[in-house]
Chains A and B, each alone.
Chain A
Amino acid sequence: MDRFVWTSGLLELGETLVVQQRGVRLQDGEEKVKFDTGVLLLSTHRLIWRDQKNHECCIAVPLSQIVFIEEQGAGIGKSAKIVVHLHPASSNKEPGPFQSSKYSYIKLSFKEHGQIEFYRRLSEEITQRRWESMPTGQTIQVKDSRAGRVRAVGIVGIERKLEEKRKETDKNISEAFEDLSKLMEKAKEMVELSKSIANKIKEKQGDITEDETIRFKSYLLSMGIANPVTRETYGSGTHYHMQLAKQLAGMLQTPLEERGGIMSLTEVYCLVNRARGLELLSPEDLVNACKMLESLKLPLRLRIFDSGVMVIELQSHNEEEMVASALETVSEKGSLTADEFAKLVGMSVLLAKERLLLAEKMGHLCRDDSVEGLRFYPNLFLTQS
């Protein structure tokens, strides 16, 4: 920390602001110092730190003093840091907060994030060494012959530079936006074309081949256009979904067996995508694939309960039979809520509730619905008539 000098924080002529970040703490090597919460500014020439509470307190170190920098990842209760290794301070250095230090490096602690961007920019500046080609001096007024205006420095100078930077960012954004608009025009043409084809298909119910329909659906899938043709054999399914269905059948066999033969579609979504890591399935991809399971004669099927809850079951799984054992369990305990039943049997509460509701629908259980929750009892009306 003895490489820092006191500064006004004003940028000098020829010095440009590159990036700034709030919430940064300085550390002298491994030791904390009083520079706890500040704004860290990176310019083409210096690293400047200004206290957020007391703007008068402002220190800086020239970038030329930096030997190299490292990233230090965040930990539990610790912010991410950048470690900056420095050359020894020169003897004619201006006054700073510390006369000496036992460390040759400092740490920048990013309490409010921003370290990724800052590290990148700092690396760039150290590599480019722009300070060598842009010598700075005292605050001098220079006439900018093009604009015919006086290039002021100080606060106005900083503001101007920020404005330029903003304009450049805006330019990047507006270029991206322009390109996006052009792209969307082309996408719109695709949508129009697909509508016209869809109309043709509607008109000719039966004259268009299955093959052509499948081709069309896969084009829609690629573009993300909703399928307007309602007459379907496989829903919005395409060859892709058929493949997916087969993959799922293979992938889910074991997990299903481990979970008593039944899983909610939400669970399947998480399981499958966590396993894939990349090229994830969209929720719609999953649903469309599952809709094809039965017709493809795969050993799993999609089932939709009255409540709208969707599950995947093994073909060998018979929920109605499970109801019989559920009834036994409930009878043993006298009565059970979905939570209690779930804990006993080792199921998710969602599926436990569906099973109890099904049992009720089949007449085996009765409900007691109160503010204390939904509780199920064996249906004595049925058994003890």
Chain B
Amino acid sequence: MHRRGVGAGAIARKKLAEAKYKERGTVLAEDQLAQMSKQLDMFKTNLEEFASKHKQEIRKNPEFRVQFQDMCATIGVDPLASGKGFWSEMLGVGDFYYELGVQIIEVCLALKHRNGGLITLEELHQQVLKGRGKFAQDVSQDDLLRAIKKLKVLGNGFGIIPVGGTYLIQSVPAELNMDHTVVLQLAEKNGYVTVGEIKSSLKWETERAKQVLEHLLKEGMAWLDTQAAGEPQYWLPALFTELYSQEVTPEEAREALP
């Protein structure tokens, strides 16, 4: 009587079977790669058709751009990952955002000496629009945020900090932890903050509040006003744009890059 499944023979047969499965596995992957290649070509055609009908819509309509980006994100596709991607090539979205990235970098660099590398999204928006000129394509704040998210990968410290109803954009590799962020948010209301306010709003000890404020001072993101009535006030230049009459011209921005 043969006992099935035991003995050297069985083991050898098993190994052979496994090897055959693996082989099939390779063949399956190859098949799928070929299938993907074919589907990719089809998709490219579909995208070309879409582009011929709606490329202008994406170019001109910021809301439609948002829809487009959100849908891409939902399915796990990043249309801005590479300039070589289909989306970028056919819809032209790439060039739009990558160029915006350059403009954002230039504006931030030009204003860094003033605000220590922190700027409100509003001011960034205004300055970028100015630099682009009146006949350039319209750019929304959402567009700026998406461009900034892409810039982070260059190791330049770009960050987005939610404050009040808007955002502060960080453009220097300074370490800003939760404590710093929370104080920035507190300062957003009036453009400045005091140790007393921090203690009463956030219930921190004096030492902790002082450390955070000193860090911001060191980084050039906060300025100290010791002549204020009451306690010294720590102002954020990023938040008081109305006080500046000086504007950054595109030439200044370009020269700011060494």
A346 to B132, CA, bound (A): 29
Q: Which residues of B contact A207 (CB under 8 A)?
A: 22, 25-26
Residues of chain B touching chain A, judged by Cβ–Cβ distance below 8 Å, are 22, 25-26, 28-30, 32-33, 35-37, 39-40, 42-44, 46-47, 50, 53-54, 57, 61, 64, 67-68, 71-72, 74-88, 94-95, 97-99, 101-102, 105-106, 133-135, 150-157, 172-173, 214, 217-218, 220, 224, 257-258
A308 to B106, CA, bound (A): 20
Residues of chain A touching chain B, judged by Cβ–Cβ distance below 8 Å, are 73-74, 79-80, 113, 116, 172-173, 176-177, 179-181, 183-184, 186-191, 193-194, 196-197, 200-201, 203-204, 207-208, 212, 215-216, 219, 221-226, 240, 259, 264-267, 269-270, 273-274, 278-287, 304, 307-310, 346-348, 350, 369-374
Q: Which residues of A contact B157 (CB under 8 A)?
A: 308-309
A266 in contact with B156 given A180-B50, A207-B25, A279-B95 (CB within 8 Å)? yes
The answer to whether A310 and B154 have CB atoms under 8 Å apart is yes
Identify the closest chain A residue to B89 (Cβ). Answer: A279
Q: Which residues of A contact B172 (CB under 8 A)?
A: 350
A208 in complex: contacting residue of B26, B75, B76, B173, CB < 8 Å: B26
A369 in complex: contacting residue of B97, B106, B133, B218, CB < 8 Å: B218
A188 to B99, CA, bound (A): 28
Identify the closest chain B residue to A258 (Cβ). Answer: B258
A332 to B160, CA, bound (A): 40
Q: Which 7 A-B pairs have the closest CB atoms?
A: A310-B155, A280-B98, A266-B156, A188-B75, A200-B29, A224-B78, A224-B85
User: In the assembled complex, how far is the CB of residue A108 from the closest CB belonging to chain B, in whole angstroms?
Assistant: 15
Identify the closest chain B residue to A113 (Cβ). Answer: B134
The answer to whether B258 and A347 have CB atoms under 8 Å apart is yes
A270 in contact with B105 given A183-B50, A215-B33 (CB within 8 Å)? yes
B57 in complex: contacting residue of A173, A221, A279, CB < 8 Å: A173
The answer to whether A226 and B54 have CB atoms under 8 Å apart is no
The answer to whether B77 and A307 have CB atoms under 8 Å apart is no
Name 29 interchain pairs, CB-CB below 8 A, sorted by A: A180-B67, A191-B77, A193-B32, A200-B28, A204-B22, A204-B25, A204-B29, A222-B85, A224-B79, A224-B80, A265-B156, A266-B155, A266-B156, A269-B101, A270-B106, A279-B83, A280-B83, A281-B83, A283-B151, A284-B150, A284-B153, A285-B82, A304-B155, A308-B173, A346-B258, A348-B258, A350-B172, A350-B173, A369-B218
